[in-house]
């Protein structure tokens, strides 16, 4: 089946299960499930039930799609995403974003755990993503372009919506949440970076580095969605002495920052 038909089939399956028409989609990163508690959930669908959906394999990634309301606004929320390092193709990694778009989602909010490549950052900081650098080895839009999904050569000059960035900054100030703004670099992983790589990532303009988000944002922009992304800084790679980074520490730091992120995203959705 061609991609367009696959997307339509999956969206049709989901549509007959739900009673709502969410215009906001949220993808939660590792250890950032806290937001699920804030959503007034109507239905949860396991990824394993959804036709054409890959199955999530990583610890800390739930693998469920939730539909419900946040402050009365209909949202859909994905707990568990697909990463290129798991072996999925870029088409698989970004398929859920295509399905969200087909379901009527206009605004996509993404969160992730990321390593800090800016030495001014601290573990536990939230960083609004203002731009990205795509260093993934494969592009999600490589290959035949189906014009029904978006243009052949999408503009990326404003990938992250400036209005949403400003709104998130206002909310953070009001709530007393200290917030950073920076550039996220997307790599394939699954290794964390070497000290020389963290340094290089900083030199080329990165403030944070991670293994997700960038392909999803590209596909969201291809489809004309508004995008907002926020990173939790779970480790600081840039340092004069080697810093050992483990997945457990990343999850722990993400979990610790999850309530802060949930508060920010909830307030953002309310004011969209
Ligand atoms: N590098 C890449 N991905 C990450 C990191 C990191 O330091 N921390 C959390 N995800």
Under 8 Å between Cβ of 269 and 70: yes
For residue 60, pLDDT over 50 is answered with no
**Nearest-5° Cα angle at 66, 62 to 72:** 140
Mean pLDDT taken over the chain: 92
Considering the entire predicted model, what is its pTM? 0.94
Q: How confident is the model at residue 56 (pLDDT cuts 50, 70, 90)?
A: low
Instruction: Flag whether pLDDT at 32 surpasses 90.
Output: no
Rounded mean pLDDT of 219-245?
91
- Interval 40-45 mean pLDDT: 90
User: Does the pLDDT value for residue 61 go beyond 60?
Assistant: no
Structure confidence at residue 227 (pLDDT):
98
**For ligand 1, mutation pick of 111, 202, 234, 253 (most atoms within 8 Å of CB):** 234
Q: How far is the CA of 19 from the centre of ligand 1 (A)?
A: 37
Sequence-distant (≥ 6) Cβ neighbours of residue 186 within 8 angstroms:
132, 133, 134, 135, 136, 209, 210, 211, 212, 213, 214, 215
pLDDT tens figures, 161-210: 999 999 999 999 999 988 999 999 999 999 999 999 999 999 999 999 99
Q: Note the pLDDT of residue 245.
A: 86
Pocket test for ligand 1, best of 111, 210, 249 (most atoms within 8 A of CB): 210
Is pLDDT at 59 greater than 70 in this prediction? no
Q: What is the pLDDT of residue 29?
A: 86
Instruction: Give the model confidence (pLDDT) of 71-105 as tens digits.
Output: 889 999 999 889 999 999 999 999 999 999 999 99
Closest by alpha carbon to 186, among 217, 155, 160, 158? 217
Q: Which atom of ligand 1 is nearest to the CA of 245?
A: 7
pLDDT of residue 235: 92
Q: What is the CA radius of gyration of the chain?
A: 17
Domains and CATH numbers, the chain: 22-141+155-271 (3.40.50.1580)
């Amino acid at each position: 089946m061609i991609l367009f038909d696959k997307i339509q089939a999956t969206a049709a399956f989901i549509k007959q299960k739900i009673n709502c028409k969410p215009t906001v989609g949220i993808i939660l990163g590792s250890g950032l499930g806290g937001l699920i508690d804030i959503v007034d959930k109507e239905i949860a669908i396991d990824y394993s039930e959804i036709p054409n959906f890959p199955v999530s394999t990583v610890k800390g990634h739930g693998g469920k799609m939730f539909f419900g309301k946040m402050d009365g606004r209909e949202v859909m929320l994905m707990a568990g995403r697909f990463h290129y390092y798991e072996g999925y193709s870029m088409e698989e990694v970004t398929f859920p974003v295509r399905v969200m778009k087909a379901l009527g989602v206009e605004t996509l909010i993404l969160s992730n755990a990321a390593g800090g490549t800016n030495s001014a950052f601290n573990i536990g900081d939230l960083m609004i993503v203002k731009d990205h650098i795509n260093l993934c080895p494969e592009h999600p839009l490589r290959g035949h372009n189906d014009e029904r999904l978006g243009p052949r050569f999408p503009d990326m000059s404003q990938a992250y919506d400036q209005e949403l960035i400003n709104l998130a900054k206002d909310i953070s100030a009001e709530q007393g949440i200290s917030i950073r703004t920076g550039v996220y670099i997307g790599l394939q992983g699954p290794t964390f970076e070497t000290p020389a790589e963290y340094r290089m990532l900083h030199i080329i303009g990165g403030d944070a580095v991670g293994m997700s988000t960038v392909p999803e944002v590209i596909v969201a922009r291809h489809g004309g969605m508004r995008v907002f992304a926020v990173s939790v800084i779970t480790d600081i790679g840039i340092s004069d002495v080697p810093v050992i980074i483990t997945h457990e520490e990343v999850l722990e730091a993400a979990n610790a920052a999850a309530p802060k992120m949930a508060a920010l995203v909830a307030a953002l959705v309310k004011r969209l």
